[in-house]
Amino acid sequence: MRITLRTGSTRLLATGLAVGLMVAACAPAEDPEGAVGEPADDAETVDEPDEATEGGSVTVGLEAETAGWAPWADSWAPPSWMVARSFYDTLMDRNADGEPQPNLAESMEPNDEFTEYTLTLREGIEFHDGEPLDADAVVANFDKHMEPGSQTATSVAPIEEVVAEDELTVRFVLDQPHVAFADYLVGAVGVVVSPASIEAETVSEEPVGTGPFVFESWQRDQQLEVSRNEDYWREGLPYLESVTFRPIPDEDARLQSLFSGDVDAMQTLRQSIIAQARERDDEFNLYEDMGNNSGATILNTAVPPFDDERVRRAWAHAIDQEELIAVLGGTGISPASKGLFNPESPWFVDEMEDIWPSEDLEQAQEYADDYINDPDRSDGEEPGTPIRFDFDTQPDPSLLETSSVYQAQVERVGLEMNIETVEQAVHIQEAVGEPPEFEGQYQAKIFRMGLESDPDWMVPYFAEGSPQNFTNYNNEEMFGLLIQARQTPDVDERRELYHQVQQILAEDVPFTLTGHTASMIGTAGDVYGLDGWELPDGDDGVGHPEAIARWHSVWRDQ
């Protein structure tokens, strides 16, 4: 096995990992519940004190560093959101049933055709620089999202116009019916940044939002510090005086930092770390969650050999999900993924258990041999030559071990895989590619796939030329089904359309999945508040999916 290392410094253009969720105002009454927020298998509920106390500080260990804090220009994965939700609020946020509700917004209402949405802001909210949150500020933010080349341009593509109707009212005019449009206002598109910082072009380095904490300083790859927003718009919040965020990419080192008291909280989306943390759950608070995010391999369908569906199918049928789950320590924690939705999701369809590709070495060998012996094979090699390709992974020991298992599995059917270790920033940039094509510079990558959101997230992920279309997979029939689902208010009809989408994905396999990703925020025994927080109008909040906290609610027992 040969492992090489690629490093480098790069500004990320896009990843689209911050798409939002469906708002209650546009969800039909029969919309099922339980889409998100399910605990991981065997997870214990944290027993929290009845009364929160003010004061204290918390140091948090993060999975990775972030490129910057401009939601239209910088890459935001779970560790990015962990930080961003300290100094930014979103227009919408989710309740415990997975239904988005107004947050900075007081209301969000669609017209009967779902072609216009009217958003009303709450009164009296200010940015950290003292400027008011008003309709003009929202318009200024959407102007950035709608700029060509922004990472969120595909997400806001249906918008024809954003109009400030009065001081607190914004009207969104769309070019098509879009039942899930407000979905996006829970994610990056719903973040509202100070217009003054936009004009000064300082958003990436010095974020100014409306959040519970104020940005103080950032030493890249070392720490970022925020302090309590004394003028926060939610009375009595936040509780903490300050929070310090420290990127600790090594999973074991991050967990040991919690155990040693070097940090007071840490996030992980790695099952083996959750299993280790559970061994000491009498000393620490473990906030666990199981969602629709899955471990994955993305295959670049724009370049050989994965531009040929035979190679992708050979890969898919050579993989043993349970073995991959086991090497990540997920046995008994994470179920195997049979499609993009876990069995607790309202979008899950039982038939996917039989449709999604599973290990079948005889079939995998047939697909591989058919390509290997083809005189017109896409990689230009002579018939009979093994299929060779590079497989990229971040330099985390558990991911390297997982990559070695992938390697051993696919080599059984004649796929020769070279493992390349890539720093996370480069890893993501290569998946995104450069504008305007955004084709991605890789063959296969270990990745994550799936979001805690309405399935409309798949539109930007599979739109031609989108920076979020990491696999460069374009299928007109499938994309048409996605647009049809976007325009269909009936939940049952949408579920069937997304089932048809997944049937096509199962056949064409632009990506493969391993297990659903269990996530956890582990805290010191005196740090609480990640569960049980409330939205402004009193609904219970969603908790902490994908190991992302809502910092206004976190407190330390004083």
Structure token pair of residue 263: 């940090």
Q: How many CB atoms lie within 10 A of CB 496?
A: 15
Q: CA-to-CA distance for 124 and 133, rounded, in angstroms?
A: 8
Full residue range of the structural domain in which residue 189 is found: 45-280+526-556
Strand, helix or coil for residue 162? strand
Q: CA-to-CA distance for 502 and 483, rounded, in angstroms?
A: 14
Q: What is the CATH number of the domain that holds 544?
A: 3.40.190.10
How would you write 20-75 as a 3-class SS string?
CCCCHHHCCCCCCCCCCCECCCCCCCCCCCCCCCCCCEEEEEECCCCCCCCCCCCC
Looking up tokens 């047939």 gives 366
The whole-number pLDDT of residue 5 equals 39
Provide the 8-state DSSP code for 181.
G
Nearest residue to 498 via CA among 516, 476, 481: 481
Structure token pair of residue 65: 């560093």
Residue 7 in domain: no
Strand, helix or coil for residue 547? helix
Residue 5 in domain: no
Residue 24 in domain: no
Q: What is the DSSP string of 334-392?
A: SPBPSSSS-TTSTT--TTHHHHS----HHHHHHHHHHHHT-TT-TT-PPTTPPEEEEEE
Total structural domains within the chain: 2
Amino acid at 278: R
Residues 315 and 430 in one domain: yes
Q: Cβ distance 503 to 486 under 8 Å? A: no
The whole-number pLDDT of residue 77 equals 86
pLDDT, averaged per 10 consecutive residues of the chain (558 residues), comes to 38 31 29 42 77 97 94 90 98 88 97 97 98 98 94 91 98 96 92 98 98 98 97 98 96 97 96 93 94 91 98 98 90 90 88 94 98 98 97 91 96 97 86 82 93 89 90 97 97 96 97 92 97 94 94 96
Residues 203 and 341 in one domain: no
How would you write 80-123 as a 3-class SS string?
HHHHHHHHCCECEEEECCCCEEECCEEEEEECCCCCEEEEEECC
Residue 421 in domain: yes
Residues 503 and 531 in one domain: no
Residues 82 and 137 in one domain: yes
Q: CA-to-CA distance for 258 and 264, rounded, in angstroms?
A: 6
Is residue 51 exposed (0-12), middle (13-18) or buried (19+ Cβ within 10 Å)?
A: exposed
Residues 493 and 439 in one domain: yes
Q: CA-to-CA distance for 373 and 331, rounded, in angstroms?
A: 38
Residues 318 and 274 in one domain: no
Provide the 8-state DSSP code for 533.
-
Residues 321 and 235 in one domain: no
Residue 32 in domain: no
Looking up tokens 């909040």 gives 541
Residue 37 in domain: no
Residues 219 and 320 in one domain: no
Q: CA-to-CA distance for 237 and 271, rounded, in angstroms?
A: 33
The whole-number pLDDT of residue 38 equals 54
Structure token pair of residue 421: 């270790």
Q: CA-to-CA distance for 364 and 362, rounded, in angstroms?
A: 5
CA angle 151, 13, 266 (to 5 degrees): 90
Residue 392 in domain: yes
DSSP β-ladder status, 415-422 and 387-393: parallel
The whole-number pLDDT of residue 182 equals 86
Residues 159 and 112 in one domain: yes
Q: CA-to-CA distance for 13 and 19, rounded, in angstroms?
A: 15
Residue 40 in domain: no
**420-453 burial string, b = 16+ CB within 10 Å, else e?**
bbbbbbbbbbbbbbeeeebbbebbbbbbbbbbbb
Residues 438 and 497 in one domain: yes
Residues 154 and 297 in one domain: no
The whole-number pLDDT of residue 30 equals 30
- CA 458 from chain centre, in angstroms, equals 12
**4-28 burial string, b = 16+ CB within 10 Å, else e?**
eeeeeeeebbbbbbbbbbbbbbbbe
Cβ-based neighbours of 276, under 8 Å, separated by 6 or more: 255, 329
Structure token pair of residue 230: 């004394």
Strand order in the sheet with 169-174: 105-110, 116-121, 169-174, 159-166
Residues 252 and 297 in one domain: no
